[in-house]
Amino acid sequence: MLWTDAVRMGETMRRVVGQSEDAAVGGRAWAEKRDPQGETR
């Protein structure tokens, strides 16, 4: 895999994961300085 393809794939995955409910819960927990209380998968 070319480096540019790897970067493109990483950016796509970052966007997909960043839109998840777990990402929102984790961000709020970090801001409130507490452990995340999201679903366990």
3-state secondary structure the chain: CCHHHHHHHHHHHHHHHHCCHHHHHHHHHHHCCCCCCCCCC
For residue 8, what pLDDT is reported? 96
Structure confidence at residue 40 as a pLDDT band (50, 70, 90): low
For residue 38, what pLDDT is reported? 65
Q: For residues 31-37, give the mean pLDDT.
A: 89
For residue 27, what pLDDT is reported? 85
Does 28 have pLDDT greater than 70? yes
For residue 36, what pLDDT is reported? 84
